[in-house]
Amino acid sequence: MDEKKQEAGVYLYIPMVLTVAFLIGCFSVSLAAVRRNVSGLTADVSVSQSDRADGRGTVRRSALKESEGLRYRMVSAADVYELRPRQAAPSEKDSASSTENASAATTNATSATTNATSTTEEKNTATEAETTATEPETVSTQPAEPEKEVLVLPNDHYINFIPPKEDHVAYLTFDDGPSEYTEEILDILDYYDVKATFFVIYHKDMADKYKAIVDRGHTIALHTYTHNYKKVYRSEKAFFNELTSISDYIYSVTGVRTKIIRFPGGSSNTVSNYYCRDIMKTLKKSVPARGYVYHDWNVDSGDAAATNLAPEKLLANVQARLNKYRKPDILMHDTGASKRTTVDTLPAIIEYIYSQGYTMDKLTLDSYAVHHDW
């Protein structure tokens, strides 16, 4: 009679043990998939609301981390940043193999548990309790490479950097601002801890934008007061009147007196000849003589060629020319609605520049100056 009760007990516990083992196996496979997705580099280069501290534009970011020849910046809404070891992300082949191994391990565990149930009822009870208490974290994938230190944060934005090349510095420059999008551009630059240069003209009711450029650590530079070719290039005197007017206005709202300029149309423009013959030849001598430093560009995003040029075209324009120069000066525009796609593409441009081994900086009086006649 006791043997029949024992046999009935065995049959009762077998389905329970199999069910528990099956649930543990499913949970382990799901956990491995989640880890694999988190460890991969994100393809989304936009600044998402989840990365903002308050949902209105203030972005939290971690400091740049360096480990084993790689550089990482992890951006998150988390308050505490923690650096700890992590296994390298497995490839799809490795992941499939790991999943098969995990399934095999689960099957073996189930078989062993079933064999164990053929003993006494007391051992069956102990086996069930141990199986139920097993932590799913014990099932892990094997690293394909040596472990690297990376930041592990919830809702991360992973940005992969390569070691910067010596003396390779890129300069992001924005002409014709400020605009209603200036704050958004500044948020993106803060997000990536990048400093840039803004060649501004006069815009009414934008005093706070000029001040924000300076207060957030960027270079504010001169692009004349009106950017109206007819007024700017009618004479040498007219040009310097325009330059003085915008310089005085910037000083009045920011307290900064800048000597860095960019000619409307660049130093090689020919439109100015319609208003004053060979005016550019004169200005390229008199501007430095009066203590100013002028900057052209050698990488054109192309955003001036059309209204809201497609983001993929803007990025392709930068990619096509960036690596031709050790010190690329990248031309973009901050002119509001007509350049919405410039703002949208800016994160992708920044990440591409970093991926090519460049650092980024703002222009100063001592920076390398690109001139079109060189």
> pLDDT value at position 333?
98
Q: What is the pTM of this model?
A: 0.64
Taking the C-alpha atoms of residue 62 and residue 88, their distance in angstroms, rounded to an integer, is: 21
Taking the C-alpha atoms of residue 67 and residue 42, their distance in angstroms, rounded to an integer, is: 19
Of 124, 159, 194, which marks where a domain is finished? 159
Phi, psi of 278 (to 5 degrees): 60, 30
Could you tell me if 128 and 182 lie in one domain?
no
Could you tell me if 191 and 325 lie in one domain?
yes
> pLDDT value at position 55?
38
> pLDDT value at position 162?
73
Could you tell me if 211 and 354 lie in one domain?
yes
Could you tell me if 149 and 52 lie in one domain?
yes
> pLDDT value at position 121?
47
Q: Is residue 114 part of a domain?
A: yes
Q: Is residue 373 part of a domain?
A: no
Of 101, 134, 159, which marks where a domain is finished? 159
Query: Residue 143 burial (CB < 10 Å; 0-12/13-18/19+)?
Result: middle
In the block, residue with structure tokens 């009045």: 252
Q: Is residue 92 part of a domain?
A: yes
**Can you spell out the DSSP letters for 31-47?**
HHHHHHHHHSPPS--S-
Q: Is residue 173 part of a domain?
A: yes
Taking the C-alpha atoms of residue 128 and residue 103, their distance in angstroms, rounded to an integer, is: 19
CB 187, CB 330: distance < 8 Å = no
Could you tell me if 282 and 195 lie in one domain?
yes
The residue range of the domain holding 335 is: 169-360
Could you tell me if 143 and 240 lie in one domain?
no
Could you tell me if 351 and 241 lie in one domain?
yes
Q: Is residue 21 part of a domain?
A: yes
Could you tell me if 37 and 101 lie in one domain?
yes
Taking the C-alpha atoms of residue 55 and residue 57, their distance in angstroms, rounded to an integer, is: 6
Could you tell me if 153 and 176 lie in one domain?
no
Q: Is residue 103 part of a domain?
A: yes
Q: Is residue 370 part of a domain?
A: no
Could you tell me if 219 and 113 lie in one domain?
no
Could you tell me if 6 and 56 lie in one domain?
yes
> pLDDT value at position 29?
64
Query: Residue 57 burial (CB < 10 Å; 0-12/13-18/19+)?
Result: middle
Query: Residue 328 burial (CB < 10 Å; 0-12/13-18/19+)?
Result: buried
Q: Is residue 67 part of a domain?
A: yes
Of 141, 159, 177, which marks where a domain is finished? 159
Tell me how many domains the chain contains.
2
Could you tell me if 137 and 175 lie in one domain?
no
State the CATH number of the domain containing residue 181: 3.20.20.370
Encode the chain (374 residues) as per-residue pLDDT tens digits: 555 555 555 566 677 777 777 778 777 766 555 454 444 333 333 333 233 333 333 444 455 555 544 545 544 433 333 333 333 444 444 544 545 554 554 555 445 444 444 444 444 444 444 444 444 444 445 555 544 444 443 344 666 667 789 999 999 999 999 999 999 999 999 988 999 999 999 999 999 999 999 999 999 999 999 999 999 999 999 999 999 999 999 999 999 999 999 999 999 999 999 999 999 999 999 999 999 999 999 999 999 999 999 999 999 999 999 999 999 999 999 999 999 999 999 999 999 999 999 999 999 999 999 999 85
